[in-house]
Amino acid sequence: MKNKNSIIDIAKQTIEMEANAISNLSNLITNDFAQATELIYNSKGRVIITGIGKSAIIANKIVATLNSTGTPAIFMHAADAIHGDLGSILKDDVVICISKSGNTPEIKVLIPLIKSAQNKMIAITGNKDSFLGEHADYILNTFVEKEACPNNLAPTTSTTAQLVMGDALAICLLELRGFSKNDFAKYHPGGALGKKLYLRVQDISAVNEKPKVLPTTNIKNVIIEITEKMLGVTAVVENDKIIGIITDGDLRRMLSKVDDFSKLTAKDIMSANPKRIESDAMAIDALELMETNGISQLLVEEQGKYAGVVHLHDLIKEGII
């Protein structure tokens, strides 16, 4: 029975072993990598990625990464390929085969079929002298000295190397395509990640109440406006332009300083020149502005006119934080 210290040591050794293997991977990048990248970039077809076992799982992840960064890709299981799925490979498609040994039976059956269709083939393999390595047009070498598994059997270090090589390929293609944040947002419209890239301030402020008072509004009506609109704030507006802001905090500070506020108006207690943001600004920019200034609300402007309020809670609700 291993104690906690032994478990921690094993974990550290595993991480260090895989880190060293990945570090060495950069030494295995050759002209084949550059040519394979250019082949995919210039291709009129898709990328078909195939593998078996743990390599098939890695192939699925690489497909997902390519698709989300502008390179159309499809996963094809090597075992299914020889039972009908070969029909999914079109004339202009580029095929990537992933295999540590490059000599599995399924790969040996599959490769001649791909070559007979004259599709270009890229190998991601740890054995460049294998059957796969010998028949591929380009080799992305993912050789590792040893698996992290103490028996040197379970794919661990080798699959990590395959994954990193796939990431390197995807990022190179992304750079070649000039794939931008806006492009990324198109492929990731859902969830917090997508919202950070496409959600604008006006998308949030448009559904909020729009609290506002005149500079001459008495304090009682200021309190009513803030309470009814439930945003903890009101803009002080004159001729549709923002001249100040009053928050719950401003009201509390006023009450601690004066006993009689019956003659006070909004202008007497407002904070002039408040922080504000344009309605077409990104919601993530509103968050950064709030964090920088230690505030929880921002007044929104549109073409110099008061357009509403965006609150920190709105950003939390949308998953921006």
Residue ranges at the known binding site = 77, 83, 216, 268
Summarize the annotated binding site for Zn(2+) as residue ranges.
77
Check: CB of residue 158 under 8 Å from CB of residue 246.
Answer: no
Summarize the annotated binding site for substrate as residue ranges.
77, 83, 216, 268
Q: Is 241 helix (H, G, I), strand (E, B) or coil?
A: strand
Quickly list H helices, the chain. Answer: 4-25, 31-42, 54-68, 78-81, 105-116, 131-135, 157-177, 181-187, 191-198, 201-205, 219-229, 248-257, 266-269, 283-293, 312-317
CB neighbour list of residue 320: distance below 8 Å, 6 or more residues apart: 192, 195, 196, 199, 283, 284, 287
Helix and strand counts by DSSP (H, E) for the chain? 15, 12
Check: CB of residue 277 under 8 Å from CB of residue 285.
Answer: yes
Structure tokens at 128: 């460049």
CA distance 139 to 175: 21
CA distance 124 to 107: 12
Q: For helices 31-42 and 157-177, what crossing angle results, to 10°?
A: 50
CA distance 197 to 181: 7
